Amino acid sequence: MNMAIQWVSFKTIVVKEVRRFMRIWVQTLVPPAITIALYFVIFGSLIGSRIGQMGGYDYMQFVVPGLIMMAVIQNSYGNVVSSFYGTKFQGNIEELLVSPTAEVTILLGYLAGGVLRGLAVGGIVTVLALFFTELSVESWPITISMVLMTAVVFSIAGFLNAMYANSFDDISIIPTFVLTPLIYLGGVFYSVDLLPDFWANVSLVNPILYMVNGFRYGILGVSDVSLGVSYFMLTLFMLGGFGFAMYLLTRGEKLRS
């Protein structure tokens, strides 16, 4: 494999992806910022002040890491699923298939695009959060590694969704009926300690719980689950998802006849 060609090709895909979401910033960057700002106002300022403390912190401080993570998850996923499915739908995936760009380069390029969009929106949401509460970071390495790994995992998930999708309906069904419930029930707004034992145990099968709590640990130093389990789950999903995506790409699943 000619690494020089692959490197140029990777940079080309990343530049194309970043230009895409910057070109349509009104659709990609503004809506999540407004939505999350509303969460800050309603759940943080208005209702949060009556909830009191959670996990030893003001509700606003508790909920901020979860909302940042929610923005990162939704936007990493959304960027890759819409961009890669759009590429398939318009047929310009053939530009890549015909070229010397290797499958692994295609995958890494799209994942990098998803991660950058997730981080861009996460950054915007973090800045917005500073208008509502003070934010100090307990551990930068944990915070950064958690947000990066989560963005990668959900970029892979978006890629897999796009690989299998046959219509635009297929790329909205998973985010609406699977991703959103998992995020809302993944400890973004509450500590699982508040739940009855049965539901607390059910929550443990939700992978997003580990990501949100890992990130919250990085910022606040509190978590409902062990940090080691969070890293283990993220690594598992990352490697498993990447391997599966590579398998599908190499087979040309729904790309080649």
Question: What are the residues binding another protein (CB under 8 A)?
Answer: 1-2, 4-6, 8-9, 11-13, 15-16, 19, 87, 90-92, 94-102, 252, 256-257
One-letter amino acid of 227: L
Nearer to another protein, 27 or 226 (CB): 27
Sign of the Cα pseudo-torsion (125, 128, 133, 135, in order)? positive
CB of 139 to another protein, least distance (A): 38
CB of 161 to another protein, least distance (A): 20
Nearer to another protein, 10 or 154 (CB): 10
CB of 82 to another protein, least distance (A): 12
Give the single-character DSSP code of 43.
I
Instruction: Identify whether the C-beta of residue 213 lies closer than 8 Å to the C-beta of residue 225.
Output: yes
Nearer to another protein, 1 or 34 (CB): 1
- CA of residue 103 relative to chain centroid, distance: 22
Nearer to another protein, 102 or 149 (CB): 102
CB of 88 to another protein, least distance (A): 11
Instruction: Identify whether the C-beta of residue 178 lies closer than 8 Å to the C-beta of residue 206.
Output: no
* 53 strand-pairing partners: 58
CB of 24 to another protein, least distance (A): 9
Q: Residue 219, exposed/middle/buried by CB under 10 A (0-12, 13-18, 19+)?
A: buried
Nearer to another protein, 22 or 236 (CB): 22
Q: How far is CA 215 from CA 152, 209, 243, in A?
A: 14, 10, 25
Nearer to another protein, 64 or 171 (CB): 171
State the first-to-last Cα distance of the chain, in angstroms, to the nearest integer: 25
Q: Within 10 A of 191 (CB to CB), how many other CB atoms are there?
A: 17
CB of 151 to another protein, least distance (A): 24
Query: 3-state SS string over 188-201?
Result: CCCCHHHCCHHHHH
